[in-house]
A and B are shown apart, each in its own frame.
Chain A
Amino acid sequence: MTQLQVLLFASYADAFGASTVTVTVPEPATSADVVTALRTLPGGNALPAAPVIAVDRRYTRGVVPVHAGQEIALIPPVAGG
């Protein structure tokens, strides 16, 4: 098992009550493991079926490997402009 930090923003940060959370996931870990772990935390039920994840400030598609040292972020529905 390994611990990963996840950045949260906007409505997700409100739901979890924090802008960063730490999750414990199996090794090697995937983005799906991160979401599964997040759902077990208070506020996790606010997440949609397939939340968008960014790794190192780029959007990911599908399930991708993740590891400590990467910048992992959950991206709520965007509303810029």
Chain B
Amino acid sequence: MIRCAVVTESIDPAVLLAEVTTRATGATTLFVGTVRNVNEGRAVTGIAYSAYSAMALEEMERIACEAAQQFDGVRVAMEHRVGLLVLEEISVAIAVAHARRAPAMDASRFIIEELKRRLPVWKQEHYVDGERVWVDPTATPVPVSAA
């Protein structure tokens, strides 16, 4: 079972958990990514997420299929949100269930790492001082004190 979505409304992790859990799944993991208040030393008020939605959905499904191939029997439900999110809101949630805990946990880790590496989603951080910056994980971070 695999379900992936790019959503514009709040993510409800309980829904994802309910989707993947069955009588046969003895282990369920839930990864939840949320907007935190500081990045690279700068105070953040929110993050605007944008996506190449059609490709993001297909890439999520490819990643989930790869997880299912590596970890036979996993059930995966995941959602990534786009739009302006404020602090503590959920940007991504991944529920993975399996009969055993090791495949469930390993598949969850695999999926979030691949999402971070491959998902065509971008975030523009909004800082307390009003500046907005596209996050570039490939750029060398510049300490605020040296900026």
- Footprint of B on A, CB under 8 Å? 7, 9-11, 14, 54, 57-59, 71, 73, 75-81
Contact = CB atoms under 8 A, between A and B. Distances in A.
A57 B54 contact: yes
A73 B91 CA distance: 24
Contacts of A78: 116-122, 137
A10 B50 contact: yes
Query: Most chain-A Cβ atoms within 10 A of its Cβ — which of B55, B80, B135?
Result: B55
B52 A81 contact: no
B137 A79 contact: yes
Interface residues of B, number: 30
Contact of B122 (A58, A73, A79): A79
Contacts of A7: 52
Q: Give the dominant DSSP class at B's interface.
A: mixed
Contacts of A81: 33, 80, 91-92, 112, 115-116, 119, 121
A71 B120 CA distance: 14
A79 B50 CA distance: 10
B72 interface: no
- Report, nearest first, the 8 A-B pairs whose CB atoms are least far apart: A80-B121, A10-B122, A57-B55, A80-B119, A11-B134, A79-B135, A77-B138, A81-B116
